Amino acid sequence: MSNHSFMKQPISDWMRGTGPDSDIVISSRIRIARNLNGLPFPLLATNQQSAESLSRLTKVTKSSDFSQLGHFQAIALTELTDMERQVLVEKHLISPNLANESRNGGLLLKDDESVSIMLNEEDHLRIQCLYPGLQIHEAWDEASRIDDVFEAHVDYAFDEKRGYLTSCPTNVGTGIRASVMMHLPALVLTQQINRILQAVAQVGLAVRGLYGEGSEATGNLFQVSNQITLGQSESEIIDNLYGVVKQIIEHEKSAREQLNQQSNTRLTDRICRSYGILKHAVVIDSKEASQRLSDIRLGADLEMLKDVTGTALNELLVMTQPGFLQHIYKKPMSADERDIYRAQLIRDTLGNKRDISQ
């Protein structure tokens, strides 16, 4: 049994279904990439050099100004099991890259899991703040405050012309990635999503799936984020993303209204079918589960389903992933076994046999 708090609760603070426009925006995230001056970046560092960067950064956590940021748990990646690492990825608290790092990788995790600070990932330091709903400016304020504390204690790799230096050239400059996770089922069902995504790309934003770069947009969940980090200020990057997201929200609301007016019977049938399947399925894979959960999330948002909450659906989004599923049932599973236990977990949850908030 794991003693780590992140294994005991499937839900992080950002999953609570609160915050502005939370019927469409699941979460807002800011990630800041920084490196230490005078040390090779993690991809080229020796074991001794990566240990040195870890030592310098963890020393900052002993300072009085860092303690004012809240309580953080320090976690060494080498002390975690493969399953624990996978759960951290599934909860969006670390990147897959850090999960695969076996050499001096570290994590500073705030108690409510709204802040996760990755050490010796692709960069020496990656500060991530995750807030529920559309709170990208609030997430930036928190990330900037943490960044200021570290910068007061360590010397960052910085160039007067290029800005902050990072392992990946696409992060050079401000070093920030701002992203918003959105649930856009109506735009998909009305076949408007491709037009919207093309328009988003033309204003310098990228659209990815639930787990970022290289992931598929399953369950009608899309991450919209900035592509440009050089030549724009932090406020320009965030304001641009915020403005585009607000437009996407209006398009999604309009598409939902269109579905309600023109295809209400078919929409109700789709939502009820998915609800029935999830309540009674004996075997279900992760892709179908994501799509069915998307349908009933839409039903809950449109008040067609009264006994399903956004928080419960956010929990299921994590709990039905391979790592957390195996943690819940306390045993390793094959893919076929996971499909069986995933169906059982969803049946129990929707049937109120399991209180997933405990």
Contacts of 178 (CB under 8 A, 6+ apart): 28, 29, 30, 31, 136, 139, 140, 225, 226, 237, 238, 241
1 marked among binding-site residues = no
pLDDT at residue 143 tops 90: yes
The reported pLDDT for the residue numbered 358 is 33
Using CA of residue 78, residue 83, residue 84, residue 88, what is the dihedral sign? positive
pLDDT of residue 211: 52
- Reported as a single tens digit per residue, the pLDDT across 34-70 is 999 999 999 899 999 999 999 999 999 999 999 999 9
How far, rounded to the nearest angstrom, does the alpha carbon of residue 134 sit from its chain's CA centroid?
A: 13
pLDDT of 352 reads: 59
208 is in an annotated binding site: yes
The C-alpha atoms of residue 154 and residue 104 are separated, in whole angstroms, by: 18
180 is in an annotated binding site: yes
183 is in an annotated binding site: no
Q: Is 327 annotated as a binding residue?
A: no
Check whether 209 is labelled as a binding-site residue. Answer: yes
Q: Mean pLDDT over all residues of the chain?
A: 89
Distance CA 182, CA 294 (A): 11
82 is written with which tokens?
């493969």
30 labeled part of a ligand binding site:
yes
The pLDDT assigned to 179 comes to 95
According to the annotation, is 235 in a ligand binding site? no
Q: pTM score > 0.75 for this model?
A: yes
Q: For residue 177, list its beta bridge partners.
A: 31
**Does 256 belong to an annotated binding site?**
no
31 is in an annotated binding site: yes
Q: Is 286 annotated as a binding residue?
A: no
Question: Minimal CA–CA distance to 53: which of 147, 113, 126?
Answer: 126
Tell whether 29 is in a known binding site: yes
**Which residues touch 221 (CB under 8 Å, ≥6 apart)?**
26, 181, 182, 183, 184, 209, 210, 290, 294
| Annotated binding residue 245 | no
For the four alpha carbons of 84, 86, 89 and 91, in that order, the dihedral sign comes to negative
Q: Closest by alpha carbon to 144, among 166, 165, 129?
A: 129
Give the model confidence (pLDDT) of 72-119 as tens digits.
999 999 999 888 999 899 888 999 999 987 679 999 999 999 999 999
- Residue 308 CA to residue 299 CA, distance in Å, equals 9
92 is in an annotated binding site: yes
Q: Is 179 annotated as a binding residue?
A: yes
Task: Say how far apart CA 78 and CA 56 lie, in whole Å.
Answer: 18
DSSP codes of every residue in 267-290: HHHHHHHHHHHHHH-S---HHHHH
More confident residue, 213 or 126: 126
Mean pLDDT of 183-204: 92
Half-sphere exposure of residue 320: CA atoms within 13 angstroms, side-chain side = 29
212 is in an annotated binding site: yes
Identify the band that residue 166 occupies on the pLDDT scale cut at 50, 70 and 90.
very high
Q: Is 284 annotated as a binding residue?
A: no
Q: Which domains does the chain have, with CATH numbers?
A: 5-256 (3.30.590.10), 264-350 (no CATH)
28 is an annotated ligand-binding site residue: yes
